[in-house]
Structure 1
């Protein structure tokens, strides 16, 4: 699984909170935390000041509460929590899988699970709503995709084709668990 990890695990950048106009860049690599900043000021004594940088190993960052506080002030508590998790080796391997592999995995999931997964991150929302996943879903419900289906998909999208032609038919004959339970209870003497 370690081979799925890029050298840079996380990267973000942005301007510091007001009144500061300083610019910050933050990286987490497999072994280090890297913090860079540029002093941005109209004052002449700060003109031409080179960027500064701090590098430290993950275990040192976990022990440095001042650095953690500074990170939270500039980028927020969510980024701090995510950083702490990465430094503790809590990696989200699913998030790091290539799109084509994720599409293949999603093609085996139920529509409800795909819908739930789409709510977990912006990347999964994009993948779960992509034309590719919906084309695979339609292909899973028919033997082949014809030219007519391709033309219709261009006009209305694969997701719409699935819900218009396949999803309804699939669920007409299926009862919900609650309906099945009601049938069983009324059938019992």
Structure 2
């Protein structure tokens, strides 16, 4: 007896892709611990067509060669390998439980997390979350966020808050640098005026 797929579990990953030209179709992929859901918006048949959804257990994906090829063609080899590893219960860095993955990221430098994001689509999606950007904020600025920053994050997200703070820091740094250059260029500013008796 086959289990019924349950998408109400916690989502491990959500990806979106566009079909290769000249096709304009869009695809969405949701991956949980035990199943995947593929949504297909067939734009070529008109913009108002409802998406078609296919929900499949991971163990069924392992057996379904046609679905494997579809995933590989639409989402790429990295996503395909990720799904196959999940289905075969192979433990790798990218398919560790979320809490464990985040715990590992805590020990990396901010620059290393940014490099990890650039390795492939899976790591980009896993690291491009609010929890990771909050962690990056704390690592880079070496402090906890203020109440004002928390409010900003609710509206814009932690990535944007970090970008704004970094832009402000660069601006202040450049202003201070310019001020020091002016002081060094004008030697009379630094000398104390001695009054004659």
TM-score by length of 2: 0.49
Say whether residues 1:19 and 2:22 are aligned partners: yes
Cα deviation per residue 1:58-111 (whole Å; 9 max; x = unaligned)?
110011111111111111111111121222333323xx2399x749x84xx5xx
Q: Secondary structure at the match of 2:29?
A: strand
**Counterpart among 21, 31, 35 of residue 34 in structure 2:** 31
Cα deviation per residue 1:4-38 (whole Å; 9 max; x = unaligned)?
xx611111112111121111111112221111101
**Counterpart among 7, 10, 17 of residue 7 in structure 1:** 10
Say whether residues 1:135 and 2:142 are aligned partners: yes
For 1:56 and 1:127, locate their aligned partners in 2 and report how far apart those are by CA, in whole Å.
33
Aligned residues: 123
Q: Is the 8 A contact 1:15 1:24 kept in 2?
A: yes
Report matched runs for 1:165-176 at 5 Å: none
* CA shift for structure 1 position 39: 1.1
In structure 2, the partner of 1:66 is 66
Q: Which runs of 5+ in 1 are unaligned?
A: 1-5, 137-154, 158-189
CA RMSD between the two structures = 3.7
In structure 2, the partner of 1:146 is none
Q: Which runs of 5+ in 2 are unaligned?
A: 1-8, 118-123, 144-167, 171-197
